[in-house]
Structure 1
């Protein structure tokens, strides 16, 4: 059998090319899955943080309402509201806002009641919770989350970090 010199075989080249293309496509698909997974994890973390801040805010607003009701029967009232220091592995601050500030910052709230602004430090999440009080409340005060002391003296409710 005589072999012709113009006859070449591309078979070895096609196997190597197939392997390179398969590895390249697999790498791209894995990278896309990792990016999509990290985006989903980030959005779930934000959603979890928002839910946790709403829960903390609602309970804190309830404690403020309790102090407000007790203030009608007494001159000085003080309670400690134990709340978690972190939510979703992030610290947070609680700020009391006036009714006008609530209407500007939180468009879903009307400007008839003051509110609490809870802001997470590690996530870009801010939650607003309205407060219903008959007595005055000191606004513009920011405290770190955790054990908070809610006091009523001289007609004003104040929030401060509890001494523990």
Structure 2
């Protein structure tokens, strides 16, 4: 025969246990959602940074091409290329690489043209953009993103930070 006092004690334990399990499962689910959300946000930030660096690099390559074409008609050419200082809340550097270095660092580029290497500082994103110049370009120089001056003075094309 079941006594009433045993039944009431078991029922009280069952409610407390249910609450503890519910809170535990909810906590685990929320923690998993937060981890998945942060991973997704990080990958989206990297993708956004890569796209922005590609855009900046292609526009800078276009400006270098313009200076190269103008250098055919003149001995001294200077162009200021205004680019953003940051992309996706990250500063970046622009480095000119020789054709051999481009082939080593960027396997999708062939060894026939020099390239620009754009490297974001706060994320692990590096982009390579090929450039085609007839007059030659000074390689191995690095400049921070922002206003850049592209000059040709009878030798190679050079990229420096603009004085503004």
Same-fold call, TM > 0.5? yes
SS of residue in 1 equivalent to 2:134: coil
Cα separation, partners in 2 of 1:13 and 1:79, compared to 1, 3 Å? same
Gaps spanning 5+ residues in structure 1: where? none
The number of aligned residues is: 162
Corresponding residue for residue 155 of structure 1 = 155
Corresponding residue for residue 80 of structure 1 = 80
CA-CA distance at 1:8 after TM superposition: 1.4
Asked if 1:8 is matched to 2:6, the reply is yes
For residues 87-127 of structure 1, the C-alpha deviation after alignment (integer angstroms, 9 at most, x for no partner) is 00000000000000000000000010000000000011000
SS of residue in 1 equivalent to 2:6: coil
For residues 12-62 of structure 1, the C-alpha deviation after alignment (integer angstroms, 9 at most, x for no partner) is 000000000000000000000000000000000000000000000000000
Map 1:8-157 → 2, pairs under 5 A: 8-9=6-7, 10-157=10-157
Task: Note the aligned Cα RMSD (angstroms).
Answer: 1.4
TM-score (norm 1): 0.96
SS of residue in 2 equivalent to 1:56: helix
Structure 1 residue ranges (4+ consecutive) displaced by more than 4 angstroms after TM superposition:
2-5
CA-CA distance at 1:154 after TM superposition: 2.4
SS of residue in 1 equivalent to 2:128: strand
SS of residue in 2 equivalent to 1:116: strand
CA-CA distance at 1:69 after TM superposition: 0.3
Cα separation, partners in 2 of 1:76 and 1:25, compared to 1, 3 Å? same
CA distance in 2, matches of 1:72, 1:155: 12
